[in-house]
Amino acid sequence: MKKVNLPNFLQPFLWSVKISELDLEKDKVYIIHQILAFGNIESIKWLFRTYSSKEIKRVFLNHSCKIYRDSAFNFITKILLGINKNLNVKKYVVDSF
């Protein structure tokens, strides 16, 4: 499988790794969570063009990542992903100050 380079505009949201070192398949959990949690409209559109809604939802539900703010978590679960079941918020939302 040919390696696909991620667009440079994603680097601010994937700050812990050079995007040239990321693999769409091997690093998809990191890519999906980082863009959902910290991305802008352009990066979220890219995410949904790159991965299917089903795959994004599957990663979100099966690989929880505690990096979300409460408001972002609610927007992502209810609006972007249409998740109607109760999730353990403690697995996703960082504590507020």
Task: Let me know if residue 23 belongs to a domain.
Answer: yes
Task: Let me know if residue 75 belongs to a domain.
Answer: yes
Task: Let me know if residue 2 belongs to a domain.
Answer: no
Task: Let me know if residue 74 belongs to a domain.
Answer: yes
Task: Let me know if residue 3 belongs to a domain.
Answer: no
**pLDDT tens readout for residues 34-93:** 999 999 999 999 999 999 999 999 999 999 999 999 999 999 999 999 998 889 999 999
Nearest to 76 by CA among 22, 34, 37: 37
| Cβ atoms of residues 36 and 75 within 8 Å | no
Task: Let me know if residue 97 belongs to a domain.
Answer: no
Task: Let me know if residue 79 belongs to a domain.
Answer: yes
Please compute the mean of the pLDDT values over residues 6-27 and round it to a whole number: 94
Q: What is the pLDDT of residue 56?
A: 98
Please compute the mean of the pLDDT values over residues 13-37 and round it to a whole number: 96
Domain count, the chain: 1
Total-model pTM: 0.91
First to last CA, the chain: 45
Alpha-carbon span 72 to 10, nearest angstrom: 18
Task: Let me know if residue 61 belongs to a domain.
Answer: yes
Q: What angle (nearest 5°) sits at the alpha carbon of residue 31, between those of residues 46 and 63?
A: 125
Alpha-carbon span 38 to 58, nearest angstrom: 19
Q: Which domain holds residue 15?
A: 11-91
